Amino acid sequence: MATIRDVARLAGVSVATVSRVINKTDSVNPETAAQVLKAIEQLQYEPNAVARGLAGKKMGIIALILPDILNPFFPALARGVEDVAQKKGLTVILGNSDDLGLKESTYIKDLKKKYVDGFIFASNTIREEDVESLRKEGIPIVLLDRGLNTASCPVIRSNNRAGAKLAVQHLIERGCQKIAHIYGPQEFITARDRLLGYEEVVGELEGYSPSLMVSGKFDIESGRQGVEHLLKRHPQVDGIFAGNDLMAIGALKALRERGILVPEQVKVCGFDGISLTEITEPELTTVAQPIYEMGGLAARILLNEIEGGVRENTIIELDVTLIPRKSTQ
Pairing between β-strand 321-323 and β-strand 285-288 as defined by DSSP bridges: antiparallel
251 burial via Cβ count (<10 Å: 0-12, 13-18, 19+)? buried
Tell me the pTM.
0.80
CATH code of 61-158+291-319, in short, is 3.40.50.2300
Q: Per mean pLDDT, which range of 60-74, 118-132, 186-200 is the poorest?
A: 118-132
b/e sequence 47-64, b meaning 16+ C-beta within 10 Å: eebeebbeeebebbbbbb
Q: How far apart are the C-alpha atoms of 132 and 127, rounded to whole Å?
A: 9
Would you identify the CATH topology of the domain 160-289+323-328?
Rossmann fold (3.40.50)
Per-domain residue ranges for the chain?
A: 4-47, 61-158+291-319, 160-289+323-328
Express each pLDDT in 96-114 by its tens digit: 988 787 888 888 888 876 6
Mean pLDDT over 260-283 rounds to 97
Q: What distances in angstroms separate CA 58 from CA 40, 111, 113, 119, 310, one per listed residue?
A: 20, 14, 13, 14, 16
Q: How confident is the model at residue 54 (pLDDT cuts 50, 70, 90)?
A: very low
Q: How far apart are the C-alpha atoms of 251 and 223, rounded to whole Å?
A: 5
What is the reported pLDDT for 292? 96
Shared fold status for 61-158+291-319 and 160-289+323-328? yes
Q: How far apart are the C-alpha atoms of 35 and 32, rounded to whole Å?
A: 5
Q: Which of 72, 68, 6 shows the shortest CA–CA distance to 39? A: 6
Q: Per mean pLDDT, which range of 107-111, 119-123, 157-161, 272-276 is the poorest?
A: 107-111
What CA dihedral angle connects 133, 139, 144 and 150, to 10 degrees? 40
Helix (H, G, I), strand (E, B) or coil at 83: helix
Q: How confident is the model at residue 55 (pLDDT cuts 50, 70, 90)?
A: very low
Q: What distances in angstroms separate CA 294 from CA 40, 106, 112, 116, 221, one per listed residue?
A: 39, 25, 25, 21, 27
Mean pLDDT for the chain overall:
89
Q: How far apart are the C-alpha atoms of 287 and 246, rounded to whole Å?
A: 13
Q: Which of 243, 81, 87 shows the shortest CA–CA distance to 95? A: 81
Total number of residues shown for the chain: 329
What is the reported pLDDT for 24? 67
Longest CA–CA span in the chain (Å) reads 87
Q: How far apart are the C-alpha atoms of 225 and 94, rounded to whole Å?
A: 32
H/E run at residue 183: strand 179-183
**Superfamily name and number for 4-47:** lambda repressor-like DNA-binding domains (1.10.260.40)
Q: How far apart are the C-alpha atoms of 50 and 109, rounded to whole Å?
A: 17
Q: How confident is the model at residue 16 (pLDDT cuts 50, 70, 90)?
A: confident
